[in-house]
Amino acid sequence: MTPVSALPERLLASWQRSEEYGVSVEDVEPVFTGTFDQESLFFQCGREVLTDLHRTLAAEPISLMLTDAEGLVLNRLSGDHSLLRALDAVHLAPGFAYSEREAGTNGLGLALADRVPTLVRAEEHYSLSLCTYTCAAVPVLDPRTGRLEGSVNLTTWSSSSSELLLALAQSAANNTAVLMLARSRGRSPRPTPRGEVFRVETARLEPGSGTLRSLSTSWTSALSLTKTALAAGRVVAAVGEPGSGRSTVLAQAERETRPRERILAASPPAPQDVEAWLSLWTPELGKPHTAVVLCDVDALPAWVAERLRDLVLHAGGPVPFSMTAERFEDIPAALASLVDTVVQVSPLRDRPTDVLPLARYAARRARGRDVDFTPAAQRALADYGWPGNVEQLHRVVKDAARRTDVIDVGHLPGELRSGPGHRLTRIEAFERDEIIRVLARPGISMKAAAAELGMSRATIYRKIAQYGIRTDG
């Protein structure tokens, strides 16, 4: 294996990040997200370019792929069936995410992380399971906006010549960008990518690994009940509002009960992905020390729940199994019959003391170091009702933390500074947010704010009262 000291600086930094992410050195365990939008301009242009290139390389042991900006493999072309089978074994296949965070140092993951053309040879990969390959990847930017759209990735055996691999990938990426520019008129923006529906998770520094502990009595009681049930071999259903931390309490309890367990976490697939999704369970359930957390089972069709129940029951031995749902009565009967213990997870609004510890945790995850909150920001976070629960809190704080080392109210969405009231129209919400934006500017006077907003001071005071805007400081 390549000595760490011999790695180039970029690869060494990537290895260090891979270690911090908790990526396995032995095996790649990427996320399966299923299908994607095939109407995007990037995908259509990239597929056309790679299809043309594949015609000239059909006899070569090379796999050509497109990925999106998150490392999700969108398609794959190769005339070498033995290479395709080998890539299937490490999940370098359509529907799987291969970002640096998921798979450690690899060509496409590093190209996306650094946004530069990248070649990763053999033992330069972080995971030993990838050391038989050489990967060349080049990021593709939208030629109009400069936004990262994805990458072109070429993969071959590590024993094959790689001298021209990066040049071919660079040519394909350039041709894709040129074709996108030529066809860009009138095209709609890129759709929001779908979330993950399948993940094999090892003990990483995530909420599920138990790295966040000093939380409310409500949370610790739910965690304690879950740990007791799992230790006794019971099947647990964590119920509560979406985003409240149902899967986290299960994963954290699993970590503390059986520290060496692998956790297979899954969410309901789209209808077109059901068969592929079900096919993923059989090889994973047969592996030792694997626990299962099935999220949002209340969204599963009854027939899919029945198929999954049969897979679990015939896995060749007891499988640590738990699930989440909004209400127990909505769990399909086939899975509800397996449940021994029901754990209620309270919404975040009922555990206000958890808000700031969770916010600090989310900020540290986003920045890689501690981030400060001003007293005004702390009050705004603590006083908000969080209808989207912990998931919404993490999203808001991570967005703010990526822009500053000290989060103030001006870095938070407008609704966090408004008191409860009637549902605002789009015009009212815009007006409220503009007032908040101006008033949050350090040292601004009410007279100056009135001039900038084109309002009288009396009108601003009336609007502050109308929208319930806090004017701390």
Mean of the per-residue pLDDT values of the chain: 83
Per-residue pLDDT at 237: 95
Range 283-309 average pLDDT: 84
Q: Does residue 360 come out as left (phi exceeding 0), alpha (psi in the -120 to 50 range) or beta? A: alpha
Most confident listed range (6-20, 293-307, 409-423): 293-307
- To the nearest 5 percent, what fractions of the chain are helix, strand and coil? 50, 15, 35
Q: What is the pLDDT of residues 107-141, one digit of tens each?
A: 999 999 888 899 999 989 999 999 999 999 999 99
Measured distance between the N- and C-terminal CA atoms of the chain, rounded to whole angstroms: 58
Q: Which residue has the tokens 């055996």?
A: 157
Contact of 416 with 380, CB cutoff 8 Å: yes
Contact of 333 with 359, CB cutoff 8 Å: no
Per-residue pLDDT at 132: 93
Cβ contacts of 104 within 8 Å, gap of 6 or more? 14, 15, 18, 21, 23, 24, 25, 28, 125, 126, 127, 130
Q: Which residue has the higher pLDDT, 207 or 39?
A: 39
What architecture (CATH level 2) is domain 350-467? Orthogonal Bundle (1.10)
Q: What is the pLDDT of residues 339-374, one digit of tens each?
A: 999 999 999 988 889 999 999 988 888 877 788 999
Residue 208 has pLDDT above 50, yes or no: no
Per-residue pLDDT at 426: 62
Task: Give the sign of the dihedral formed by CA 47, CA 53, CA 59, CA 64.
Answer: negative
Q: What is the pLDDT of residues 65-75, one digit of tens each?
A: 999 998 999 99
In three-state form (DSSP H/G/I as H, E/B as E, the rest C), the secondary structure along 57-100 is: HCCCCEEEEEEECCCEEEEEECCCHHHHHHHHHCCCCCCEECCH
Per-residue pLDDT at 204: 43
Q: How confident is the model at residue 23 (pLDDT cuts 50, 70, 90)?
A: confident
Superfamily of chain region 4-182? GAF domain (3.30.450.40)
pTM of the model: 0.56
Per-residue pLDDT at 201: 55
Range 319-324 average pLDDT: 86
CA torsion angle 356 357 358 364 (round to 10):
110
Per-residue pLDDT at 286: 66
The identity of residue 465, as a single letter, is A
Q: Where are the domains of the chain?
A: 4-182, 198-346, 350-467
Q: Which residue has the higher pLDDT, 28 or 1?
A: 28
Most confident listed range (33-37, 313-317, 445-449): 445-449
Per-residue pLDDT at 284: 74
Percent residues over pLDDT 90 in the chain: 34
Element (H, E) at 244: none
CA distance 303 to 102: 31
Residue 445 has pLDDT above 90, yes or no: no
Residue 6 has pLDDT above 50, yes or no: yes
- The topology under which CATH files domain 198-346 is Rossmann fold (3.40.50)
CA distance 79 to 279: 24
Give the closest residue to 323 by CA, choosing from 239, 244, 397.
239
Question: Which range is least confidently modeled, 63-77, 222-236, 418-432?
Answer: 418-432
67 has which bridge partners? Answer: 73, 151
The packing angle between helices 446-453 and 457-467, to 10°, is 90
Q: Which residue has the higher pLDDT, 57 or 428?
A: 57
Residue 468 has pLDDT above 80, yes or no: no
